[in-house]
Amino acid sequence: MLRDAWLVAGKDLRIEVRSKVALGQVAPFAFVVVLLFGLALGPAVGRGSVLSAAAPGLFWVAVLLATVLAVQRSFAVEAADGAADGLRLSGLDPAGVFLGKAAAVAGQLLVLELFLAAAVSLVYDRHLSALVVLAASCVTATIGLVAAGVLYGVVSMGARQRETLLPLLFFPLVAPILLGATKLWGEALAGAPGRGSGWLELLGAFAVAYCAIGVVAFGPLLEEA
């Protein structure tokens, strides 16, 4: 399973290196979202302004939107030639495919989050503090997001309207992640990172639950997509 996960993750990342879709389209899209929030809620910046206060939430909404695109891209790659039959025929362990695809998307998203956080900090004029808490919440939240995303990504792969179906399925499901990660960031940036420890566990529970479901359910779902 892990061998197959490694193989699939390597393949997906290599495709990204070659095609640069995440770099050239998903990341710029996330930055555009950050700018749009600025236009909608600005122009006041600095301590006490709407933008500064909302920065954690806006950051995570941008991440959520980027996740949908990244997951869609991850499955568009499979559907391009052979409509997923290739994956089914490959002989790969479906659990390994799930973990591999999730790892590749998570890796891309974590890099994106790094730059997006810097952008939010600059554009919304919000100083980043308690970096360890920020990083920990990023990693845990991203694992949960990606596990749920890849799980629903394969569900919607078989649908004719997959572009619209995935967001409908995905966003309500990951609402707890948005809440938890935003709270953690809000507290960390407000200088009271200790209070949110329960949130990190909630994010962790979500990540574990959906990784487990994904490992078990990806096979049957891939079969039917």
Partner 1 sequence: MGAAISLRECVSLSGRFPLLAGLSLEVREGEVVHLRGPNGAGKSSLLRLCAGLVPVVSGSAVVLGHDLRTDRHSVRREVGLLGHSGFLYDDLSVERNVRFAVRAARADPGQVEGALRRLGLDGRLRHVPVARLSAGQRRRVSLAVLVARRPRLWLLDEPHAGLDQDGRAELDQLVVEARAAGSTVVLASHELERASAVSDRVVGLAGGRVVAASLCEGRVAGEVGSDVA
Partner 2 sequence: MSPGAGPGGGRGTAVLRVLGLLGLVGVVATVWLGLWVTPPDRFMGNLVRLLYLHPAIAWVMYIAYGIAFLSSLLYLWPRTRALAWDRLAGASSEVGVVFTGLTLVTGSIWGRPTWGVWWTWDPLLTTTALLFVLYLGYLAVRQIPGEREARARRSAIAALVAFVDVPIVYFSVLWWRSLHQPPTVDDPVTGKTYVHGSMAWTLLLSFVALTLVYAWLLAHRYRLAALADLEEGEGLELAIAERRAEAGGVPARGEEPAGADLVGAAAGVPDPGARGPGAGR
Element (H, E) at 133: helix 131-157
CB of 118 to partner 1, least distance (A): 28
Q: Residue 9 or 203: which CB sits closer to partner 2?
A: 203
Q: What Rg do the C-alpha atoms of the chain give, in angstroms? A: 18
Choose the one of partner 1, partner 2, none that binds residue 118, judging by a C-beta under 5 to 8 angstroms depending on kind: none
Q: Residue 46 or 86: which CB sits closer to partner 1?
A: 86
For residue 223, count other CB atoms closer than 10 A to its CB.
12
Answer whether 67's CB lies under 8 Å from 169's CB: no
Q: Residues in the site for partner 2, rule: CB under 8 A?
A: 148, 151-152, 155-156, 158-160, 165, 168-169, 171-173, 175-176, 179-180, 183, 195, 198-199, 202, 205-206, 209-210, 213, 217, 220-221, 223-224
Which of 172, 148, 168 shows the shortest CA–CA distance to 159?
168
Please name the amino acid found at residue 210: Y
Q: What is the spatial distance between Cα 203 and Cα 41, in angstroms, rounded to a whole number?
A: 28
Q: Residue 108 or 183: which CB sits closer to partner 2?
A: 183
Answer whether 210's CB lies under 8 Å from 150's CB: no
Q: Residues in the site for partner 1, rule: CB under 8 A?
A: 4, 7, 11, 14-15, 18-19, 77, 80-83, 85-86, 88-92
Choose the one of partner 2, partner 1, none that binds residue 91, judging by a C-beta under 5 to 8 angstroms depending on kind: partner 1
Q: What is the spatial distance between Cα 49 and Cα 37, in angstroms, rounded to a whole number?
A: 13
75, with CB counted inside 10 A (0-12, 13-18, 19+), is: buried
* DSSP state letter for 194: G
Choose the one of partner 1, partner 2, none that binds residue 88, judging by a C-beta under 5 to 8 angstroms depending on kind: partner 1
CB of 170 to partner 2, least distance (A): 8
Q: Residue 15 or 217: which CB sits closer to partner 2?
A: 217
Q: Residue 13 or 50: which CB sits closer to partner 2?
A: 50
CB of 52 to partner 2, least distance (A): 18
Choose the one of partner 2, partner 1, none that binds residue 92, judging by a C-beta under 5 to 8 angstroms depending on kind: partner 1
CB of 219 to partner 2, least distance (A): 10
Give the contacts of 75 (CB within 8 A, at least 6 positions apart). 153, 154, 156, 157, 162
